[in-house]
Amino acid sequence: MGSLGALVKHPDDFYPLLKLKMASRHAERQIPSEPHWAFCFSMLHKVSRSFALVIQQLDTELKNAVCIFYLVLRALDTVEDDTSVATDIKVPILKEFYRHIYDRDWHFPCGTKNYKVLMDEFHHVSTAFLELEKGYQEAIEDITKRMGAGMAKFICKEVCKDVGTELYLDVETVDDYDEYCHYVAGLVGLGLSKLFHACGTEDLAPDTLSNSMGLFLQKTNIIRDYLEDINEIPKSRMFWPRQIWGKYVNKLEDLKYEENSVKAVQCLNDMVTNALIHVDDCLKYMSALRDPAIFRFCAIPQVMAIGTLALCYNNIEVFRGVVKMRRGLTAKVIDRTNTMADVYGAFYDFSCMLKAKVDKNDPSAQKTSSRLDSILKTCRDSGVLNERKSYIIPNQINYTPLLVVLLFILLAIILANLGPSGPN
């Protein structure tokens, strides 16, 4: 439920955190009884609790299709991510993965922890996949085939550099970067749009907008996960394009060293600026959605992404550890992202936060400010900013120590009743 220190500093996080905790426990109780579906939804909770929570809002048919789509692509990603698997073994599996999902007996040992379990018992996913309506199956097969081929293409383009045991993906240009992100995330956006259309509740969104939805999320993750990827064992995973980082350092790994802190932050800001180019497309995509559950399913991750970029921008901690939104703010995003007015408001506030951090002496400052101005204008032009109360920009309310104490007492009582021995 977040640290006590964070709750003392942000006591208004308490109620959203409580709602999130209760919703999470409710979602965990909604596991189907059939063994294969029970495995799929239990695994979904283990590999992505936030995704598992949001998906529960969808109707059963679409929820099942999206769950299987996610697990199939997560399994595909597990094969690609496992740097211990030899290329001559990995590439054929990636290319043929779309066929394996029809085979109830297929599995492949790779990955670690929960991902290893997913791969070892993949027959449960295949069994569930084969129970989906044909329209859902065709959409999942198509995206899996295209994604596997794209991943294989980039692995085959890997080139060893004269940097010891490290291995670079051949992401030389920004176009390469966009192409890679398209294969691993843009196609997810296209696939979800196909699933939404197949269930009959949404029009089929333009591919360009669906692609941008995926690229914005993927680029945010790539920026945030720099240190984790660069320190990957046995081989580094490097997704930042040379066209950007080459302006600041000789080797991508140099960004993590303290003596390069100034250049590292400048490079980081350049990467964030690149990601912002997708925001207008994302706002257009979300504004066209009609189904409230599908809207929340799509909107919450996008709000989380712009919030993460606002935290990462101009922040040296990206190269020192993990930078992420506090859990209380995450809970607020999940609780208060219900309408397009909420989305415009959140994007406006996070963009204001980001713009306040722009240093006019930064090499990308002018481009960053221009892209932020475009986002802010889009949000203002929506005409709905006055329809919401900001939960992102800190307010000036002074909470008394007594109120904080009362909150903790209430929290302790509720948690005691929600514990293992408490009521179901």
Confidence at residue 22, expressed as pLDDT on a 0 to 100 scale: 79
Choice among 69, 180, 319, 350 that is catalytic: 180
AA identity, residue 247: K
* Ranges under pLDDT 50 in the chain: 1-2, 159-168, 396-399, 421-424
Residue 132 lies in a domain: yes
Residue 129 has what pLDDT?
Answer: 98
Active site residue 399: no
In the prediction, which pLDDT does 5 show? Answer: 63
Is there a single domain that holds both residue 215 and residue 343? yes
pLDDT reported for residue 401: 55
Same domain, 136 and 208: no
Task: Let me know whether 135 and 41 are in one domain.
Answer: yes
Which of 98, 168, 224, 344 does the annotation list as catalytic? 224
Q: What is the pLDDT of residue 19?
A: 79
User: Does 61 reside within a domain?
Assistant: yes
Residues 374 and 309 in one domain: yes
Whether residue 244 is found in the same domain as residue 141? no
User: What domain count does the chain have?
Assistant: 2
The answer to the question of residue 10 being in a domain is no
**Considering 168, 202, 222, which residue would you say is the last residue of a domain?**
168
365: domain CATH number is 1.10.600.10
User: SS3 letters for 295-356?
Assistant: HHHHHHHHHHHHHHHHHHCCCHHHHCCCCCCCHHHHHHHHHHCCCHHHHHHHHHHHHHHHHH
Question: Does a structural domain hold residue 14?
Answer: no
Instruction: Please check whether residues 319 and 209 belong to one and the same domain.
Output: yes
The Cα 90–Cα 76 span in angstroms is 10
Report the pLDDT value the prediction gives residue 58, as an integer from 0 to 100.
92
154, 248, 297, 344: the active-site residue:
297
Query: Which of 100, 135, 168 corresponds to the end of one domain?
Result: 168
DSSP string, 154-204: HHHT-EE-SSTT-EE----SHHHHHHHHIIIIIHHHHHHHHHHHHTTSSPP
Question: Do both 260 and 363 map to the same domain?
Answer: yes
pLDDT tens column, 154-209: 887 664 443 444 444 668 999 999 999 999 999 999 999 999 999 999 999 999 99
Whether residue 364 sits in one domain with residue 270: yes
Say yes or no: 161 and 108 in one domain.
yes
Same-domain pairing of 108 and 200: no
pLDDT for the residue 83: 83
pTM of the entire predicted model: 0.88
One-letter amino acid for residue 172 of the chain: E
Provide the residue type at 24 as one letter: S
SS3 content of the chain, % helix, strand, coil (to 5): 70, 0, 30
In this prediction, residue 164 carries a pLDDT of 43
Residue 100 lies in a domain: yes
How many CB atoms within 10 Å of residue 357? Answer: 15
Three-state DSSP at 132 gives coil
262 and 155, same domain (yes or no): no
Looking at the structure, tell me whether residues 86 and 194 fall in a common domain. Answer: no
Could you tell me if residue 188 is inside a domain? yes
- Is residue 180 flagged as an active site residue? yes
Assess if residue 418 is contained within a domain: no
Q: Give a yes or no: residue 278 inside a domain.
A: yes
For residue 239, the enclosing domain spans 184-392
Active-site residue identified among 74, 237, 336, 371? 237
Question: Is 320 known to be catalytic?
Answer: no
Judge whether 176 and 209 are in contact, CB under 8 Å: no
224 is catalytic: yes
